[in-house]
């Protein structure tokens, strides 16, 4: 799907293997030292240099984002976003939207042409996936008008059910 010249893709795959993307987004914790899920996978693939650089930028709070090098990953950069813990950090929808907004703005500031996102906060942070997908796509569509450099936004989902849910959510946004 294309909106204002920006291609939005939803794919099933491994975010650490998005070789054609300039930057990938990490669903990080506030310490930026790695953890489980997407965060752990990105840190393992990037190597110990990522932990050293990212932990020097910590702590960051829900909705905030910082950028680091990608080290052993095939990308130029990693943007680390701390999503809200559902039911704890309020207002969840605005904090989640801030993750996507801030990541896109950081990538744009670096004049990058492509960015890959995971489904932020939908793992151990407990954000319901359907609701999170709606916040994600609504925010991305709102920010697209500001983008001059980014030409491709990819949402990378690890399993088939998450992929299907996000594909349908994107189609629903397109229909609105």
Question: Helix 129-143 and helix 92-109: axis angle, to 10°?
Answer: 40
Characterize 120-132 residue by residue with b for buried, 16 or more Cβ atoms within 10 angstroms of its Cβ, and e for exposed: bbbbebebebebb
Task: Give which of 26, 34, 18, 33 is closest to 64, Cα–Cα.
Answer: 26
- Identify the bridge partners of residue 27 per DSSP, sorted by sequence position: 81
14 counts as catalytic:
no
d(CA 165, CA 48): 34
Which candidate in 39, 93, 113, 159 is catalytic?
39
Helix (H) or strand (E) holding 130: helix 129-143
Round to whole Å and give the CA distance between 153 and 117. 8
Give the residue numbers marked as catalytic.
Answer: 39
């Amino acid at each position: 799907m294309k909106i204002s010249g920006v291609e939005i893709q939803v794919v099933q795959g491994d975010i650490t293997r998005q070789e054609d993307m300039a930057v990938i987004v990490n669903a990080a914790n506030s310490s930026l030292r790695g953890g489980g899920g997407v965060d752990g996978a990105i840190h393992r693939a990037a190597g110990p240099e990522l932990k050293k650089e990212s932990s020097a930028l910590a702590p960051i709070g829900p909705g905030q984002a910082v950028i680091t090098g990608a080290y052993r990953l095939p990308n130029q950069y990693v943007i680390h976003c701390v999503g809200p813990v559902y039911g704890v950090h309020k207002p969840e929808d605005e904090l989640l939207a801030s993750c996507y907004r801030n990541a896109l703005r950081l990538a744009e500031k670096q004049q990058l042409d492509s960015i890959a996102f995971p489904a932020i906060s939908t793992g151990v942070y407990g954000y319901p996936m359907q609701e999170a997908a709606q916040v994600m796509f609504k925010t991305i569509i709102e920010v697209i008008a500001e983008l001059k450099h980014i030409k491709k936004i990819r949402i990378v989902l690890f399993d088939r059910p998450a992929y299907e849910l996000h594909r349908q959510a994107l189609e629903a946004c397109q229909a609105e």
